[in-house]
A = this chain, B = another copy of it.
């Protein structure tokens, strides 16, 4: 029955499975203790209030059972988002609801923007490590994905300039706050330097910012899009997935006028419309007055989980065995085990032998064959301090066993 495969388009060969989804499935089916999923904890979602808000929307808006007239999405929610992000200093004053396009999570934002600007072979610069589902959207359109390493202040300007000076970069994709997977925050100074580079080499910046509100000690620097160094070349992706509920599937693009119409036309061509009734429910929740308090609760809860994981790591590993920076927000802790040579094989070993799931560092590299070999990502979003302790105990055992095995193997091969 494979006689039709030849009728698939060239894009077909550029698609591949999500390594993270595969790993989450594997962990789930094996019943392992999991640090894998980069998703919010169900018990921290505003379940009651959100349900109440959704009921209210369904009761009061029968016309939303029909098609919604504006394919960019529910005008009132777009207006709420514009005002909220302006009040937070994250959106330039001259942008408003007409610059906001609602999306099916940030993934659709990544996809629509990529479809708007990328021709086959165009270069996209990404942080290394970075979010691999974004690579899927870029690869789908035939982008050539190039890596920029991250240092203490954020993405390396030297590496980015080196790349941009060698050939045209179409855009730089960055997660500046509590980055997935590294947890790093790009400093204000670094953001300004990168904006200057973008102007000099005429590339765009795609700012993906879903973790911003989940800070533990202090709020991160303001967004690229709101900096006065931005001359209109930043497109911003926001999301309610991490701070309300991913099942609502609501994110947004904040985009200047020059690209907005193209994004809107892509929306029409790809889906016509999103479910405005869900967006009205979300708006009811956001306007009900509890959202600010909810964000505070989330920060507190995730900080406690971060602390639980850090404590467990300190308890079970010494510094030479597992090195990491303490994340200041978000969901992720990124660490390296010196001497670990193949994190991909290690994470499978850890699930099978010790029942603990983490994601291999190479998953987050645009060059999976060689990068981030010794690194792993641990998500603490869904892990209690007790589970973190047990999980780290298992992880330590798995790592010791794996290192012994591979060192023995190496000796045998000598």
Contacts and interface: CB of A to CB of B under 8 A. Distances in A.
Interface of A: 1-5, 7-12, 15-18, 21, 24-25, 28, 37, 39-40, 42, 45, 47, 50-51, 54-55, 58-59, 62-69, 71, 104-105, 107-108, 111, 115-119, 122, 133, 136-137, 139-141, 170, 202, 204, 232-233, 245-249, 256-259, 262, 265-266, 268-278
Nearest to A59: B51
B107 A271 contact: yes
A9 B118 contact: yes
Contacts of A1: 232, 256-258
B65 A42 contact: yes
Contacts of A16: 265
A163 to B, nearest CB: 17
Would you list the 6 A-B pairs with minimal beta carbon distance, nearest first? A15-B265, A136-B269, A65-B245, A107-B272, A104-B271, A111-B270
B105 A25 contact: no
Contacts of A274: 104, 249
Nearest to A203: B7
B116 A269 contact: no
Contacts of A9: 115-119, 122, 141
B67 A4 contact: no
Contact of A7 (B12, B66, B117): B117
Number of this chain's copies in the complex: 2
A247 B265 contact: no
Contacts of A119: 9-11
For the complex, would chain A's binding face be called helix, strand, loop or mixed by DSSP majority?
helix
Nearest to A244: B65
Contacts of A59: 51
A55 B53 CA distance: 11
A65 B47 contact: yes
Given A51-B59, A55-B58, A275-B275, A116 B11 contact: yes
A47 B62 contact: yes
Contacts of A67: 37, 39, 246-247
Highest count of chain B CB atoms <10 Å: which of A8, A24, A119: A8
Contacts of A141: 9
Nearest to A272: B107
Given A65-B248, A66-B245, A136-B268, 15 more contacts: A1-B232, A3-B232, A4-B256, A9-B115, A9-B122, A9-B141, A11-B119, A15-B262, A17-B268, A24-B69, A104-B273, A107-B270, A108-B270, A111-B269, A137-B269
